[in-house]
């Protein structure tokens, strides 16, 4: 492969970028967590790719169809775009845990695919999420993991086997730390 590989921040969706209402299936229920737009825009401006990786087992469990997930994702993109923030990719796993797929976090299927499709070096990338499965993904791909205390974050903190690279109050705090970490790495 020619050319330099890029870095990405892989964001979880529910509980990290938007409020986790539990099996969110309607765009009308989508509520972005304060500061997310501005934080994602900062990453866009810095040249780091912003990718969403989300477990949407509500599909596999029969609670809603893929169309519902995609409608929410489209709404998320357009709300962010209205504030000048861009998602470079959105990937989701629609399987239930019983299906034992290769893409449900902490499995790496979606991050591997994103890396191939966008030329990302996962080992110099970041994962931001509110669950142990997000931190598990970070571990498996060799990325730095940031746990946010929004969503399930505070509850999940006790379930972690190791310490995340950083624990942030919310997505804004996570991105602030990542921006500093990036600058230290490049300086």
Taking CB under 5 A as the rule, does residue 12 contact Mg ion? yes
Query: By the 8 A CB rule, do 44 and 180 touch?
Result: no
Taking CB under 5 A as the rule, does residue 131 contact Zn ion? no
* Calpha distance 41→39 (Å, rounded): 5
Picked from Zn ion, Mg ion, none, the partner binding residue 101 (CB below 5 to 8 A depending on kind) is: Zn ion
Query: By the 8 A CB rule, do 31 and 14 touch?
Result: no
Q: For 93, phi and psi rounded to 5 degrees? A: -100, 125
Taking CB under 5 A as the rule, does residue 93 contact Zn ion? yes
Return the range that interacts with Mg ion (CB under 5 A); candidates 3-11, 44-52, 81-89, 127-135. 127-135
Return the range that interacts with Zn ion (CB under 5 A); candidates 43-51, 70-78, 94-102, 131-139. 94-102
Give the residue closest to Mg ion by C-beta: 15
Taking CB under 5 A as the rule, does residue 15 contact Mg ion? yes
Nearer to Mg ion, 53 or 79 (CB): 53
Taking CB under 5 A as the rule, does residue 58 contact Mg ion? no
H/E element, 148: strand 144-148
Query: By the 8 A CB rule, do 137 and 123 touch?
Result: no
Closest C-alpha to 148, from 52, 42, 13? 13
Closest C-alpha to 10, from 75, 78, 116, 90? 90
Nearer to Zn ion, 7 or 95 (CB): 95
What residues numbered 101-120 form the site for Zn ion, per CB under 5 A? 101, 103-104
Q: According to CB under 5 A, which one of 7, 122, 127, 130 is a site residue for Mg ion? A: 130
Taking CB under 5 A as the rule, does residue 37 contact Mg ion? no
* Calpha distance 103→93 (Å, rounded): 6
* Calpha distance 101→134 (Å, rounded): 16
Nearer to Mg ion, 12 or 88 (CB): 12
Taking CB under 5 A as the rule, does residue 173 contact Mg ion? no
* Footprint on this chain of Zn ion (rule: CB under 5 A): 93, 95, 101, 103-104
């Amino acid at each position: 492969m020619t050319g330099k590989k890029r870095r990405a921040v892989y964001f979880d969706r529910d509980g990290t970028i938007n409020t986790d209402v539990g099996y969110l299936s309607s765009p009308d229920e989508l509520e972005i967590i304060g500061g997310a737009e501005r934080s994602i825009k900062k990453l866009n401006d810095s040249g780091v790719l912003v990718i969403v990786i989300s477990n949407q087992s509500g599909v596999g469990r029969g609670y809603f169809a893929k169309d519902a997930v995609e409608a929410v994702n489209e709404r998320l993109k357009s709300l962010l775009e209205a504030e000048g923030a861009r998602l470079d990719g959105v990937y989701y796993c629609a399987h239930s845990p019983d299906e034992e797929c290769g893409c449900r976090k902490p499995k790496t299927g979606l991050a591997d695919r994103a890396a191939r499709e966008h030329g990302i070096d996962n080992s110099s990338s970041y994962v931001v999420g509110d669950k142990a499965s997000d931190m598990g993904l970070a571990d498996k791909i060799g990325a730095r993991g940031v746990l946010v205390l929004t969503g399930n974050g505070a509850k999940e903190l006790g379930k972690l086997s190791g310490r995340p690279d950083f624990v942030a109050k919310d997505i804004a705090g996570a991105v602030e730390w990542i921006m500093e970490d990036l600058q230290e790495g490049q300086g």
